[in-house]
Structure 1
Amino acid sequence: MFKKIRKSLLTYLASMITLVAFTAVSPHSIWILYEPDIPDALKKTY
């Protein structure tokens, strides 16, 4: 009985974590396409 409840709770938890991860990433995924220019002051440190 405990194993069945534990499995269902872990499945629910994994589903919720996946949902939160996709929700958090989706609005910000467009910013991945934007790559700003590196300032000259930072280029000197490389």
Structure 2
Amino acid sequence: NVSHALAKVTHEAAIGSVDKRQLETLMAHGLSPEEAVDVIVRGILR
């Protein structure tokens, strides 16, 4: 925990862009764009 009136704490992670082909394949199988991105990101984080 950081507790100071002037402190600002952030956390950021970058993993790159989602592969367009993977996204299109998942969407072709019926997933919404949001669901497809979620599946791809979860796969990367495992």
Larger Rg: 1
| Structure with the higher fraction of residues in helix conformation | 1
TM-score of the superposed pair, with normalisation by structure 1: 0.27
Bigger relative CO (Cα 8 Å, ≥ 6 apart): 2
TM-score of the superposed pair, with normalisation by structure 2: 0.27
